[in-house]
C-alpha cells in the first residue's frame, strides 16, 4: 500500500503522505472533500500570485500528512490531516490540523397555519436526537445531512426532510439562502473554519398546513432506524426559535433569513 502520493494543486503537486500503513492513500486522494480543498487552495494561490507574483502568496503549503481515516462502510467518511505549511513573511508554521468531512445541507422549515381562534401562527420544525460529542441525548436542531458529492444541494435537502421529518417537498420550493447571500463566492457558511472544512448550505422553505396537521408533527418519530438515527420532532414558534436550540445551523439560518428579507432578496 502506497505511503506517499502526489496531490495535484493547480499546476503543481505536493506530497500526500500516509502516517501509517493502514491508510489507503488512493481512497483518500479520491475523497471529494480533499479534491475540493486542493481545488480551492489552487484558486487562493492563483489569486494571490496574480497580484504580486509567487512571493506574495502568504502561506506556502508543502505537504499533507493523512493522520487517520474513518469509513462509512467501504467509503471514506472523515479524515484527519496535518498540513505542513509556513507563513511566507516570517517562515513560521501556519496552523494546519484539519478534520475533513465535507459539506452539509440544513433547512429551516417554516410552517404557517391558522389556529382555531383564527390567529395565524408560524412554527419551525426541530429534530431531537442524541449527539454524543456534546453529549446530549436530545439535542434540538434543524433538519440536516451530509452532502453526497453529487452537487444537488436542493435534492439532498429534500431527501433529508423526507427521511428525518416525513415531509415531502418539491425541489423548487426550497430556497438556497447561501446562494442568495454569497452567489458562487463561497460554498456555504463555515461554522468552524479554524480546524474543519465543513460548510453548511442553508435552505428555507415555507409551507401552509392545517392546524391539526401541525399538531400531529409534535413528538413524531423520524429518521432511518437502520442507519442509527433515532429522531423525535418538535415544534417551536418562529419568533422563539432562537431561544429553543443552541444550534449553529438554526441560528445561522435565522440570521440569513432576517438579512435577506431586510435586503429585499427574500
Instruction: Name the average pLDDT for the chain.
Output: 91
Task: Kindly tell me if the per-residue pLDDT of 255 is higher than 90.
Answer: yes
pTM exceeds 0.85? yes
238, 239, 220: which is closest to 230 by C-alpha? 220
103, 102, 61: which is closest to 83 by C-alpha? 61
Domains and CATH numbers, the chain: 4-100 (no CATH), 104-263 (3.90.79.10)
First to last CA, the chain: 52
Q: Coil, strand or helix: which one is 68?
A: strand
116-149: pLDDT as tens digits? 999 999 999 999 999 999 999 999 999 998 887 6
> How far is the CA of 33 from the CAs of 19, 189, 232, in angstroms?
19, 15, 30
Distance from C-alpha of 197 to C-alpha of 33, rounded to nearest angstrom:
8
Burial 42-58 (b: 16+ CB within 10 A, else e): eeebeebeeeeeeeebe
Supply the pLDDT for residue 97. 97
49-99: pLDDT as tens digits? 887 666 688 999 999 999 999 999 899 999 999 999 999 989 999 999 999
Most confident of 44-58, 174-188, 219-233: 174-188
Amino acid at each position: 500500500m502506497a505511503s506517499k502520493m502526489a496531490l495535484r494543486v493547480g499546476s503543481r503537486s505536493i506530497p500526500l503522505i500516509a502516517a501509517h500503513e493502514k491508510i489507503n492513500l488512493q481512497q483518500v486522494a479520491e475523497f471529494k472533500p480533499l479534491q475540493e480543498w486542493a481545488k480551492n487552495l489552487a484558486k487562493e494561490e492563483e489569486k494571490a500570485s496574480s497580484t504580486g507574483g509567487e512571493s506574495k502568496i502568504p502561506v506556502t503549503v508543502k505537504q499533507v500528512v493523512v493522520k487517520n481515516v474513518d469509513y462509512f462502510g467501504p467509503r471514506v467518511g472523515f479524515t484527519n490531516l496535518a498540513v505542513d505549511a509556513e507563513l511566507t513573511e516570517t517562515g513560521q508554521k501556519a496552523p494546519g490540523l484539519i478534520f475533513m468531512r465535507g459539506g452539509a445541507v440544513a433547512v429551516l422549515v417554516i410552517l404557517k397555519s391558522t389556529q382555531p381562534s383564527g390567529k395565524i401562527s408560524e412554527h419551525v420544525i426541530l429534530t431531537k436526537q442524541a449527539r454524543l460529542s456534546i453529549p446530549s441525548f436530545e439535542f434540538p436542531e434543524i433538519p440536516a445531512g451530509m452532502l453526497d458529492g453529487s452537487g444537488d444541494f436542493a435534492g439532498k435537502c429534500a431527501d433529508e426532510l423526507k427521511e428525518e421529518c416525513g415531509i415531502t417537498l418539491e425541489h423548487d420550493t426550497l430556497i438556497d439562502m447561501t446562494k442568495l447571500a454569497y452567489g458562487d463566492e463561497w460554498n456555504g457558511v463555515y461554522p468552524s473554519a479554524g480546524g474543519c472544512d465543513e460548510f453548511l448550505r442553508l435552505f428555507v422553505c415555507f409551507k401552509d398546513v392545517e392546524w391539526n396537521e401541525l399538531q400531529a408533527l409534535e413528538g413524531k418519530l423520524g429518521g432511518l432506524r437502520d442507519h442509527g438515527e433515532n429522531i423525535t420532532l418538535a415544534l417551536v414558534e418562529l419568533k422563539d426559535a432562537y431561544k429553543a436550540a443552541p444550534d449553529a445551523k438554526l441560528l445561522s439560518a435565522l440570521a440569513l433569513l432576517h438579512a435577506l428579507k431586510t435586503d429585499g432578496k427574500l
